[in-house]
Amino acid sequence: MPVFKDAGGREWIVSIDVNALRRVRDRLGLNLTDLVGGETLDRVTKDPVLLVDILYVLCESAARDAGVDVEAFARELRGDALDAAVTAMLESLADFFPSRRGRLLRQVIERGKRIEDRVLAEAEQKIASGEIDPAPTAETSGAPSGDSPASSESIPAP
């Protein structure tokens, strides 16, 4: 069964069965089997609050047994731990489906990882070469520019 560790080092098993799908649907109004289609996956991956809520529902029984409420659970899902949790959820979903559909989902997961790796490597290369300058400029840092209106102190009183 897919497992991930949260930022605090706690280990969580993600197991998806029909009951887990029902709990997610009833509580969050989301059909996890639609993650394979793309639009729902895009929505979930762009909304970390929704993502953590899904993960909590999937791990809720173990969380309750460990005395971990949703807020404590959410506090420990960040950075690499959140990435590992998403991977575990998608792997568990792939395990849920019949072998052909599960194999297809695993291919989608792998392709997504390769694309993400390539995009990040290209961005790192552009930053290293100076093509992208990560240092803030006056325009991006919020510093006043030459076209800013004068402050009220510099305007003479009538």
Q: What is the rounded distance in angstroms from the CA atom of residue 114 to the CA atom of residue 118?
A: 6
Can you give the pLDDT at residue 137?
64
**What is the average pLDDT value for the chain, to the nearest integer?**
83
What is the tens place of the pLDDT at every residue in 90-135?
Answer: 899 999 988 887 787 788 777 777 777 788 788 888 888 888 776 6
Q: What mean pLDDT is predicted for residues 1-23? A: 95
User: Which residue ranges make up each domain of the chain?
Assistant: 3-114
Could you tell me the CA-to-CA distances from 142 to 127, 133, 137, 145 in Å, in that order? Answer: 22, 17, 8, 9
pLDDT at 109: 74
The predicted structure's pLDDT at residue 81: 95
* pLDDT for position 2: 93
Pick from 80, 18, 20: nearest CA to 54: 20
Share in percent of the chain as helix, strand, coil (round to 5) = 65, 5, 30
Model confidence pLDDT, tens digit, residues 49-78? 999 999 999 999 999 999 999 999 999 999
